[in-house]
């Protein structure tokens, strides 16, 4: 189910432009599915330690476009009419959690004096291709819901790999805390999505 996409620095720069998406105004909470994943980014902004290593930098630089695509996928679903309210709530939850985390990680990189884009090409597990996104845009109703759940599950699984690597290899305490939050919230969302998929 997983997909691996090699992202160039240029493509990364383009997708990171999505980080300006506003989420707090339309964010919804799905009953039984509010996992608090945005607590790290929506609470007060802690002082970001400048002490970091290459793993911290890679984590933030790779997670930025990964989160941006999750926000894009959620926006695609929120633009569709007639979807099950649970799917709408899930899309809002994902967007509400990940868009603020984009700002958090951008702030980390700025504080560390690191660029927001990676140099060279790097493979990121779970990223959807342009064709995948086109299929999601074209799908409607339950077909769209199934596709979104399958794609987002794979997407989350890729994020878990990167976050777990940060937990074991990172140095910056703030980045490690965020990575642990991502692991906790996205593992819970994966379980929720599997339940929703089995009910369709």
66-98 pLDDT tens trace: 999 999 999 999 999 999 999 999 999 999 999
Helix (H/G/I), strand (E/B), else coil: 13: helix
Residue 37 above 90 pLDDT? Answer: no
Return the DSSP state at 82.
T
In angstroms, how far apart are the furthest CA atoms of the chain? Answer: 48
43 CB-contact burial (10 Å; exposed 0-12 / middle 13-18 / buried 19+): exposed
Contact 109, 48 (CB under 8 A): no
- Lowest pLDDT segment from 2-16, 45-59, 73-87, 171-185: 2-16
Global confidence as pTM: 0.75
Residues forming beta bridges with residue 7, ordered by sequence position: 122
Q: What's the whole-number average pLDDT of the chain? A: 82
The answer to whether 73 and 128 are in contact (CB under 8 A) is yes
What is the per-residue pLDDT for 128?
96
Q: From the CB of residue 160, how many other CB atoms can be counted at a distance below 10 Å? A: 18
User: Each residue of 136-182: pLDDT tens digit?
Assistant: 999 999 999 999 999 999 999 999 999 999 999 999 999 999 999 99
Among 17-31, 59-73, 131-145, name the one with the lowest average pLDDT.
17-31
Point out the least confidently predicted range of 16-30, 49-63, 67-81, 128-142: 16-30
């Amino acid at each position: 189910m997983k997909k691996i996409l090699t992202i160039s620095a240029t493509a990364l720069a383009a997708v990171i432009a999505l980080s300006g998406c506003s989420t707090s105004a339309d964010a919804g909470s799905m009953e039984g599915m509010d996992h608090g994943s945005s607590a790290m980014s929506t609470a007060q902004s802690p002082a970001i330690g400048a002490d970091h290593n290459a793993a911290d930098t890679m984590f933030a630089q790779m997670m930025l476009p990964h989160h941006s695509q999750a926000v894009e996928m959620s926006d695609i679903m929120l633009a569709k009419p007639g979807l099950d309210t649970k799917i709408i709530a899930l899309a809002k939850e994902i967007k509400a959690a990940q868009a603020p985390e984009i700002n958090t990680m951008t702030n980390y990189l700025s504080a560390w004096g690191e660029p927001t884009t990676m140099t060279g090409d790097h493979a990121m597990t779970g990223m959807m291709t342009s064709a995948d996104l086109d299929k999601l845009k074209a799908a409607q109703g339950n077909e769209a819901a199934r596709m979104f759940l399958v794609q987002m599950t794979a997407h989350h699984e890729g994020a878990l790999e990167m976050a777990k690597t940060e937990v074991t290899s990172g140095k910056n305490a703030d980045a490690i805390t965020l990575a642990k939050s991502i692991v906790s919230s996205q593992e819970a969302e994966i379980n929720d999505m599997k339940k929703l998929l089995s009910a369709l």
